[in-house]
Amino acid sequence: MKTTYKLFLLLTLFAFSNCESYLSKDPIGLLTPEQVNLDPTVTSVNYSVNSSYQLLSNTLNIIGEWGWDDGTVLRNDFVLHDIASGDMQKKWNPDGDQAWMDEFSNYSFIASNGAFNGIWSYDYEGVSRTNTAIDYLTDEDVMSKLNIEPALKNRLLGEAYFLRAFYYFDLVTLFGDVPLLLKPLVSFEEAYEVAQRTDKATVWDQISNDLKSAKSLLPNTKYSSDSEKWRVSKGAVIAMQAKVALYNKQWQEVVTFVSELEQLGFYKLNDNYFDNFSVTKEFAEDEVIFAYDHQEAKTPNRGNGLCALIGWGFVAPRDNFVESFETNDPRLKYTVDVENKNVNKILGTLDGSNKGNDDAPSNRIFIRFADLLLWKAEAYLELGSFDKSILLINEIRNRARNSISIDGSMPPTGTLPDRNLTSTNKTEIMDWLMHERRVELGFESHRFNDLKRWKKAEEVLGGYGFQSKHYLYPIPQGEIDKSGGTITQNEGY
């Protein structure tokens, strides 16, 4: 087994801070070079995959120690996606606390804003860990020595391929061309070779290849592991294949992949909208396809630290977001209880429980079936099958109007009426789709990417300061500086 150097701490890809004491500290869960030098065991191989999930979490200080300025206290999805989308503002009562977050409300950020360093660090740390796992699992000598069960080996390898694809999907949609690292670095020469941007088309191809590999390795079951239901499943892989096709405007492939997922029979819309988010329903409902499993009272910590920020007044809706919901739509209060300033969808509760809890058990939902149905509706719309598109939009609305409201009552008759099935006005149907995605998926970090891929961002967000250059975020300035200019900046920054 080759030695894996921590060159990401020395060069541009994985430098988290200029603090000497921090650079000498290994991120929690990372296999160190000393560990890699030891004879690997089945346990260490399994751990190399498990640690690859951590960078998806909202757990505090996974790769830092209260590094607010460099954006590493927790994943910044709520800043980069939800605040930037115009749905969310930093706090209920805006103040000077963490002013760098406010810069996403008015697009006044520059390349040195810590949010960019944060997400770059999280995603590339995730890539690094998956590469270590893949290196283990594809080393025939190691696998032969361990005599690992083929089914376990295949499942772990499939998970690692999916996670690498997932991290690169985030990177390419945020930054465009990015360095493509596919194996642990074994020399400084290799590190310098990868310290340059790869054309986004090549990155997209790699994402597709990793997903194809993952799909062939994972079991044809709803859960890859009955005892650890949080693991990547074949359904999650197919869903990501559909998402990749969506972002590349491969409309027929979107339909094909979503239909393939439906045929598995594992997923459907939950009867009640909030079942997707309730801590009492985790892995006991029918709609969530991929989520990070936050758990409380674990060592190392595994809780949802974003709930702690909510306790400090962070994460609040813009008025425009609240006003976008139709009258009596129960999804509004399930998303955010304005009166009590509770973000129920993130807390996983309806009574404010977990607010202020830095170790909350509420999961981070990444993919659920409603999202896929709306992808399919969009694909049908682009293919000219207007009636099929509207039927799917109405299916989402039907579930919403038949969900018990937060006060225990049913929405009044006439709430969320079906859209006109006979419409052939593509612009009208697209408006319906855009609206439904906003209210159905609010605060789930989808809208900013939606507005960008629809080329609607300037129209919708222009009043907040969005310009054409903002279709891509800037490469973190620190990464460019450390590369000596080998990594170049996106246009306009």
Peptide bond into 300 cis (omega under 30): yes
All domains of the chain in start order, with CATH: 242-469 (1.25.40.390)
Which residues are bridge partners to 316 per DSSP? 89
* Per-residue pLDDT at 34: 46
Which residues are bridge partners to 291 per DSSP? 365
Confidence of residue 38 (pLDDT cuts 50, 70, 90): low
Cα→Cα distances 34→39, 53, 125, 216, Å: 10, 22, 18, 33
Distance in angstroms (rounded) separating the CA atoms of residues 225 and 232: 9
* Per-residue pLDDT at 6: 34
Q: Is the pLDDT of residue 5 over 50?
A: no
**Mean pLDDT of all residues belonging to the chain:** 92
Distance in angstroms (rounded) separating the CA atoms of residues 239 and 220: 14
What secondary structure, in 3-state letters, does 186-211 show?
Answer: CCHHHHHHHCCCECHHHHHHHHHHHH
Rg (CA), the chain: 22
Distance in angstroms (rounded) separating the CA atoms of residues 86 and 321: 8
Range with the poorest average pLDDT among 191-200, 202-211, 319-328: 191-200
Confidence of residue 85 (pLDDT cuts 50, 70, 90): very high
pLDDT digits (tens, 9 = 90+) for 394-451: 999 999 999 999 999 999 999 999 999 999 999 999 999 999 999 999 999 999 999 9
Comparing C-alpha atoms, which of 180, 234, 176 is closest to residue 367?
234
Higher local confidence (pLDDT), 188 or 184: 184
* Per-residue pLDDT at 9: 35
365: CB partners within 8 A, 6+ apart: 276, 277, 288, 291, 444
Comparing C-alpha atoms, which of 77, 31, 56 is closest to residue 449?
77
Q: Report the predicted TM-score, pTM, of the whole model to 2 decimal places.
A: 0.93
What secondary structure, in 3-state letters, does 327-380 show?
Answer: CCCCHHHHHCECCCCECHHHHCCCCCCCCCCCCECCCEEEEEHHHHHHHHHHHH
pLDDT digits (tens, 9 = 90+) for 131-148: 999 999 999 999 999 999
- Percent of the chain clearing pLDDT 70 (strictly above): 92
pLDDT digits (tens, 9 = 90+) for 146-178: 999 999 999 999 999 999 999 999 999 999 999
Range with the poorest average pLDDT among 30-39, 304-313, 445-454: 30-39
Amino acid of residue 324: S
